[in-house]
Amino acid sequence: MKFAILTLGVLAGMAAAGTRADAQNYPWCANYGMGMGGGGINCGFTTREQCMATVSGIGGFCEVNTQYQPPAGPSARQRPRQHW
């Protein structure tokens, strides 16, 4: 019985370790701590307006996410010309 529990635990650990947790990649962050060492930061906003609506009434401020990486856009490669 102990072997079965150990095996199940090892398999569960391997499954958890095999998944990636990607960080949020959005341009705006809500800082709920007001610089007092508490609160938290949520960098899950695509616009400043979204962020401001979230901190409105509960305190905090919005700031640009300095770690934001915009998605890669379309390639600059041109299509070959077709001659008719």
What digits encode the pLDDT tens for the residues 14-38? 555 555 555 568 999 999 876 566 7
Over 90: is that where the pLDDT of 39 sits? no
Instruction: Encode pLDDT of 40-58 as tens digits.
Output: 899 999 999 999 999 998 8
The pTM (predicted TM-score) of the whole model is: 0.55
Please report, as a single letter, which amino acid is at residue 59. Answer: G
- Strands (E) located in the chain: 28-31, 41-45, 61-64
Chain-centroid distance of CA 30 in Å reads: 13
